[in-house]
Amino acid sequence: MTKTVICLLLWLPGVAFAQRPAAHPYSWLAADHYDARQTLASRFVPPAGAARVPVAAGSFGFWLRYLPLRPAGAAVHLYNGQLKKPQTVHAAVVRIDVGRRDLQQCADAVIRLRAEYLFGQNPDKVHFHLTSGHDIWFSDWYAGKGFRVQGEDVVAAPKAVEQPTYAVFRRYLDQIFTYAGTRSVAREMQPVAMAMLQPGDVFVQGGAPGHAVLVLDVSVNPRTGRRYFLLAQSYMPAQEIHVLRNLQDAKLSPWYALEERAPLETPEWDFTTDQLRRF
């Protein structure tokens, strides 16, 4: 499968996109459904005096910065079409499906976005660990090396050989969502210091229950050195991925100010400073 190429202009506060990209790496969207006016970068200007941190073109952080969003004011829906309760924790809804089963919850949303990015780069780069510790590669799965859970173990279960199409990829992800979670996501990544926060990092508390939120973007005030960041989550039951509001600081929301020694308070979960991880 050829690598998807994207030509996007770096966005600066107050500067509009010159044009919509001719191609985009968001595989779930048809080419004519990507609207550069409805992306994370275009909708959320950094706080006064701050500018987005540089990210390499083609990186996970760059990909997250230009995520497509649903129109302003969109509600968050559950997998069954019902409305999330409450509707007061989100600033925007990511334009991506949630599936029709109660699978794509908090850690699964992190897996989904990371997997979509990797799939756009090269499907054979996609792999995730299950809670059991088993590393399941998409390249093995579509080549006929399936698996099934037997008690506390995971055993080989041959399946039909398929091509690495997007539909096959989504079926693979549903299996990963079923047997992965916050524990496996936490183990899959490396701890990182709060001061080193960058787009694509994850705050995660592994456990049952546990939770995970994804750092979508980071900005910095060059005069003060103050750093700010945007967060996204899914939750329980499975629901559309959404950009979180900052309920502690309505004027700054949806940006959060980085506090290196203070717990992170999000609308539905709090994280300690040692729970930041990186792929």
Alpha-carbon span 74 to 272, nearest angstrom: 30
pLDDT digits (tens, 9 = 90+) for 67-106: 999 999 999 999 999 999 999 999 999 999 999 999 999 9
pLDDT of residue 243: 99
Q: What is the mean pLDDT of residues 150-175?
A: 95
Parent domain of 135 = 106-186
Residue with tokens 């398929």: 162
Top-confidence residue, 16 or 220: 220
Alpha-carbon span 108 to 48, nearest angstrom: 33
Indicate whether 48 belongs to any domain: no
Q: What is the mean pLDDT of residues 56-75?
A: 97
- Predicted confidence (pLDDT) at residue 12 exceeds the cutoff of 80: no
Indicate whether 139 belongs to any domain: yes
- Retrieve residue 72's tokens: 């302003």
- Predicted confidence (pLDDT) at residue 15 exceeds the cutoff of 60: no
pLDDT of residue 151: 82
Indicate whether 142 belongs to any domain: yes
The proportion of the chain whose per-residue pLDDT surpasses 70, expressed as a percent, equals 92
pLDDT band of 23, cuts 50, 70, 90: low
pLDDT digits (tens, 9 = 90+) for 222-270: 999 999 999 999 999 999 999 999 999 999 999 999 999 999 999 999 9
Top-confidence residue, 17 or 216: 216
CA distances to 64, 76, 237, 263 from 199, in Å? 7, 23, 26, 19
Indicate whether 212 belongs to any domain: no
Indicate whether 156 belongs to any domain: yes
Q: What is the mean pLDDT of residues 58-66?
A: 97
pLDDT of residue 176: 98
pLDDT digits (tens, 9 = 90+) for 192-232: 999 999 999 999 999 988 999 999 999 999 999 999 999 99
Indicate whether 263 belongs to any domain: no
pLDDT band of 11, cuts 50, 70, 90: very low
Indicate whether 155 belongs to any domain: yes
Beta partners for residue 158, in sequence order: 145
The DSSP secondary-structure symbol of 55 reads -
Alpha-carbon span 145 to 65, nearest angstrom: 35
* Spatial CB neighbours of 1, under 8 Å, sequence gap ≥ 6: 122, 123, 164
Write out the H or E segment, with its range, that includes residue 142. Answer: helix 138-142
pLDDT band of 30, cuts 50, 70, 90: confident
Beta partners for residue 90, in sequence order: 244
CA 142 to chain centre: 23
pLDDT of residue 5: 33
Q: Per the structure, how many domains does the chain have?
A: 1
Three-state secondary structure readout of 122-161: CHHHCEEECCCCCEEEHHHHHCCEEEEEECCEEEEEECCC
Indicate whether 215 belongs to any domain: no
